Structure 1
Amino acid sequence: MKKTVTAFAPATVANVSCGFDILGFAIDQMGDKVTVTPNDLQQLRVIGIIGDGGKLPLEPDKNTCSVAIQAMLDHLESNQGIDIYLEKGLPLGSGMGSSAASAAAALVAANELLGNPYDKIGLVPFAMEAECIACGSAHADNVAPSILGGFVLIRDYHPLDIIPLPVPQNLFCTLVHPHIELRTADSRSVLRKQLSLKEAVMQSGNIAGFIAALYENDLALLGRSLKDVIAEPSRALLIPGFYELRSGIQFLGALGSGISGSGPTIFILSPDQKTAEAVGGKAKEVFAQIGLGVDVFVSEVNKRGAFVI
């Protein structure tokens, strides 16, 4: 067994407008790092966390890193002790898959430490266990792309059916993170419990169009499909500047925009880097006008996913 392993897992955009709870993609460069070291105590220990402002728990049954690793160890029927050190590179409650990146990095590192008993897809169910701790729901639209990279479709949860999707050429994403924290549980609480038949048909058409666009490398179709009638109408009200930003980028050449995960981060897809950076500049202007701080990131889609450093 190796003495220590460090892994990185990227930020993600979940839902991607039309793909509520079933679609996500990974972002380049931004993410979390986790270092694991074996111990002889037959215990999981979170020995340190930096970058979280002291907000994340060290208790093994409450931290997403240790919960994910424990799920894997239970499946292996192993009592191997592991010490865990987490370096947060993502803000909490940001809608960029912060909890998912921690769990994904922890699993990839621990899997390497144990001799790689699982392939990447095999790690996803364990990361979903950690998402239950983080937000009360075992969804995979953040953890799957963080582990696998690229676009990922979760066709079904019972049984889990994960489908990696192609990434169109020259597709760029601008992430706009307002300086507010929005808990996933709060964002879920505002969702409607019922949809009309008309809304269900509209959402189905958009997700089908989006996936077709990925396979056809059709960015125009992709942009037309970035419409959400399930979550966005309710959640957008919780995000200051959302509609002002959408209006401000209307004539800059972006393909479309939406809420990243449960928010408050807003994602905008563009056909090239120049457009993505122009959109980012407009976002700074919009949020300056409403008096709210904002971070802007421009990135290609991350095709690699989580990896051992």
Structure 2
Amino acid sequence: MKSIKVFAPATVANVVCGFDILGFAVNEPGDELEMEMIDTPGVNIISIEGDEGKLPLDPSKNTVSASIISLLKKLGREDVGFNLKLKKKMPMGSGLGSSSASAVAGLFAANELLGKPLSRLELLPFAMEGEALACGHGHADNVAPALFGGFTLIKSYDPLEVIQLPVPKLFCALLYPHVDVPTRDARQIIRSKVLLKDAVTQWGNIAGLVSSLYTHDYDLLGRCMKDVIIEPIRSILIPEFDNMKELAMGNGALGFGISGSGPTVFSLFKSKENARKSLEEMQAMLNKLGIDSNIYLSEINEKGPVIL
């Protein structure tokens, strides 16, 4: 096999209370990548669609190519090269793991064409390198669910340990308001110290949320989707956050929060119809305020990247 086309999913990181350690993948949106293996060494970006010219074509500066270059060096396969055509089918800077999807798509495709020398777990550090290039911090709560699918828990970073969690039947409603919330800025406003009582509350919510996934206890899941540390600060960067949350919860959402560093917000539902109604109402409210938005409705993606 000399060429391949793959899809890698968008992700929701943090999942309200699980800052930097929890995340899950969704079926829509995501990125598509066409890759051709060539005999000439080097990774070449032939084209990028859907980025409005914002992403660099320099292979050393682009998430998707830089991850592959690092992989080839590690494997001692710098004798081969790849031509890449990337289709960004998701908004960038949205909090949906755009850079993670690109890195995962590239690594998954390259690994397939090279005969699968590495497992998905072994590919994870390379994806984290790409994430660090894109946003300055190589956290895994986006790249791990994009690579493995489903819900993932980052148990530790040193050593890196990732746990795949059960996936109950859920519908994820995503709304991306067209406002700018850079990841670096969203991280800088977070407090460096927290009260012990807040930390204890947060630990309880994280533990309860993980337990709810194993037991499929939707009521428990809803009670645990609360953040007393990060969301109260970050939510001020997102227009109408409280009103959108009220609409979602009023339509039966189990929980509502910020996807990654925002500005995308997400909510989880048992009912697809309620999820769609919630999205339509939130989008209509923003439209009246002159704020455009994209909406997506998806089940949890359990496969991660796939060959198209």
TM-score band, normalised by shorter chain: over 0.9
Structure 2 unaligned spans of 5+: none
Amino acid in the other structure paired with 1:18: C
What is the CA-CA distance between 1:36 and the residue it aligns to?
A: 1.5
Amino acid in the other structure paired with 1:136: G
Amino acid in the other structure paired with 2:301: N
Contact 1:248/1:286, CA 8 A, preserved across alignment: no
Q: Distance in 1 between matches of 2:10 and 2:84?
A: 20
Cα RMSD, aligned residues only = 1.1
What is the CA-CA distance between 1:172 and the residue it aligns to?
A: 0.6
Structure 1 position 132 matched with structure 2 position 135: no
Contact 1:4/1:37, CA 8 A, preserved across alignment: yes
Q: Which residue of 1 aligns with 2:120?
A: 120
Moved more, 250-259 or 14-23: 250-259
What is the CA-CA distance between 1:69 and the residue it aligns to?
A: 0.7
- 3-state SS of paired residue (1:8): strand
Contact 1:246/1:257, CA 8 A, preserved across alignment: yes
Q: Deviations over 1:56-86 (max 9, x none)?
A: 0011111000111112112212202111111
Structure 1 position 179 matched with structure 2 position 211: no
What is the CA-CA distance between 1:290 and the residue it aligns to?
A: 2.3
Q: Distance in 2 between matches of 1:76 and 1:249?
A: 47
Contact 1:92/1:181, CA 8 A, preserved across alignment: no
Q: Deviations over 1:286-305 (max 9, x none)?
A: 21232211111111001111
Q: Which residue of 2 aligns with 1:76?
A: 75
Q: Distance in 1 between matches of 2:248 and 2:30?
A: 26
Contact 1:241/1:290, CA 8 A, preserved across alignment: no
Structure 1 position 260 matched with structure 2 position 259: yes
Q: Which residue of 2 aligns with 1:51?
A: 50
How many residues align? The count is: 307
Q: Distance in 2 between matches of 1:251 and 1:288?
A: 19
Q: Which residue of 2 aligns with 1:289?
A: 288
Q: Which residue of 1 aligns with 2:203?
A: 204
Contact 2:249/2:256, CA 8 A, preserved across alignment: no
Q: TM-score, normalised by structure 2?
A: 0.97
Q: Which residue of 1 aligns with 2:301?
A: 302
Structure 1 position 242 matched with structure 2 position 241: yes
Q: Which residue of 1 aligns with 2:273?
A: 274
Q: Distance in 2 between matches of 1:37 and 1:107?
A: 13
Amino acid in the other structure paired with 2:191: R
Contact 1:22/1:141, CA 8 A, preserved across alignment: yes
- 3-state SS of paired residue (1:250): helix
Q: Distance in 1 between matches of 2:56 and 2:229?
A: 33
Moved more, 28-37 or 136-145: 28-37
Q: Distance in 2 between matches of 1:33 and 1:250?
A: 33
Q: Distance in 2 between matches of 1:178 and 1:90?
A: 13
Q: Deviations over 1:106-165 (max 9, x none)?
A: 111100110011122221111000001100001111111111110000100101101110
Amino acid in the other structure paired with 2:114: L
Q: TM-score, normalised by structure 1?
A: 0.97
Structure 1 position 166 matched with structure 2 position 161: no
Amino acid in the other structure paired with 2:86: L
Structure 1 position 150 matched with structure 2 position 150: yes
- 3-state SS of paired residue (1:52): coil
Amino acid in the other structure paired with 1:239: I
- 3-state SS of paired residue (2:7): strand
Contact 1:15/1:260, CA 8 A, preserved across alignment: yes
Amino acid in the other structure paired with 1:187: A
- 3-state SS of paired residue (1:118): coil
Amino acid in the other structure paired with 2:277: A
Q: Distance in 2 between matches of 1:22 and 1:195?
A: 17
- 3-state SS of paired residue (2:121): helix
* Equivalences for residues 226-241 of structure 1 within 5 A: 226-241=225-240
What is the CA-CA distance between 1:101 and the residue it aligns to?
A: 0.4
Q: Which residue of 1 aligns with 2:17?
A: 18
Q: Deviations over 1:236-280 (max 9, x none)?
A: 111111111112233211111000001000001111211111211
Q: Distance in 2 between matches of 1:86 and 1:19?
A: 31
- 3-state SS of paired residue (1:220): helix
Q: Distance in 2 between matches of 1:182 and 1:66?
A: 25
Q: Deviations over 1:23-48 (max 9, x none)?
A: 00001132001122122331111111
